Amino acid sequence: MSFKIGMMKVSAVGAALGLCLVWAGPAGAGEGDAARVAESIHWLGHDAVRIDAEEGVIYIDPWKLGDRPKKADLVLITHDHGDHCSPEDVETVMQEGTEIVTVAAAERKLQGLPVRTVAPGDAVTVRGVPVEAVPAYNVNKFRSPGVPYHPKEAGYVGFVITVGGVRVYHAGDTDVIPAMKGIQADIALVPVSGTYVMTVEEAVEAVEIIRPRLAVPMHVGRGIGSLEDAERFRELSPVPVRVLPME
């Protein structure tokens, strides 16, 4: 594990498969609350996360979950790309009462399931969890000249959810964008792999803008990006770091 507390840094080499959890400064919840919720966050590879919250089991962008994953109370999906919106993986975590929140493009891939659609700027409460949809898009990552991988016009989102009194931000697939100046989060999950999303250096910039208590680099693992990117984010970030295993 690796972690820093305050101005003191304690480092160690993490497991071969791991993520960096970064401990920073201000937000809404107290440091103890943020630490408690951080312990409930499970990184499942790439952008997939499971949060075992007081309010229930929450998945964000479930993908390649394997056999018999824990059942969900709430599923959040940032956009319709196959490595984020996987109908097969969503089906494996569904149970009676599970609800899904996603954008319209992803809803079309989830026919017959209980989906609530959102767009950037929307705020809803689902299964007792306040969910804010925030913009997520590219400004300098292009599949061809002038054509970004994640266009602003597509209406893709990240999410800010409140669980256990702690605000958790999952950035989705995005670059550094102006909307980040208005995001208040205690824990921030940010992509770091580059190519389709923020580079390590850009993710550091995003964390500096948002100033969460904790940050989790993602968009690595499962054959996408490099775990070295997560480690380099840890080295460059101005805040403390802890490494989580990929489950």
Instruction: Indicate the helix (H) or strand (E) that contains 163.
Output: strand 157-163
Q: Domain range spanning residue 190?
A: 18-245
Amino acid 241: pLDDT: 64
Token digits of residue 180? 């980040």
At residue 233, does pLDDT exceed 80? yes
Amino acid 62: pLDDT: 97
Decide if 38 contacts 214 (C-beta within 8 A): yes
Residue 89 lies in a domain: yes
At residue 228, does pLDDT exceed 90? no
Residue 241 lies in a domain: yes
What is the amino acid identity at position 66?
G
At residue 18, does pLDDT exceed 50? no
Q: What confidence category does residue 27 fall into, taking pLDDT thresholds of 50, 70 and 90?
A: low
Decide if 46 contacts 196 (C-beta within 8 A): no
Residue 5 lies in a domain: no
Residue 88 lies in a domain: yes
Residue 132 lies in a domain: yes
Gap between the Cα atoms of 50 and 189, Å rounded = 12
At residue 150, does pLDDT exceed 70? yes
At residue 8, does pLDDT exceed 70? no
Whole-model pTM: value is: 0.88
Determine how many CB atoms are found less than 10 A away from the CB of residue 152.
15
Amino acid 44: pLDDT: 94
Residue 6 lies in a domain: no
| Number of structural domains found in the chain | 1
Task: Count Cβ atoms within 10 A of the Cβ of residue 124 and give its class: 0-12 exposed, 13-18 middle, 19 or more buried.
Answer: middle
What is the amino acid identity at position 102?
T
* 3-class state of residue 148 by DSSP: strand
Strand partners, 117: 102
What is the DSSP annotation of 25-67?
--SSS-HHHHHHHHTTEEE-SBT-EEEEETTEEEEES--S--S
Residue 191 lies in a domain: yes
Pairing label, strands 99-102, 115-117: parallel
Residue 4 lies in a domain: no
For residue 157, what is the domain's CATH number? 3.60.15.10
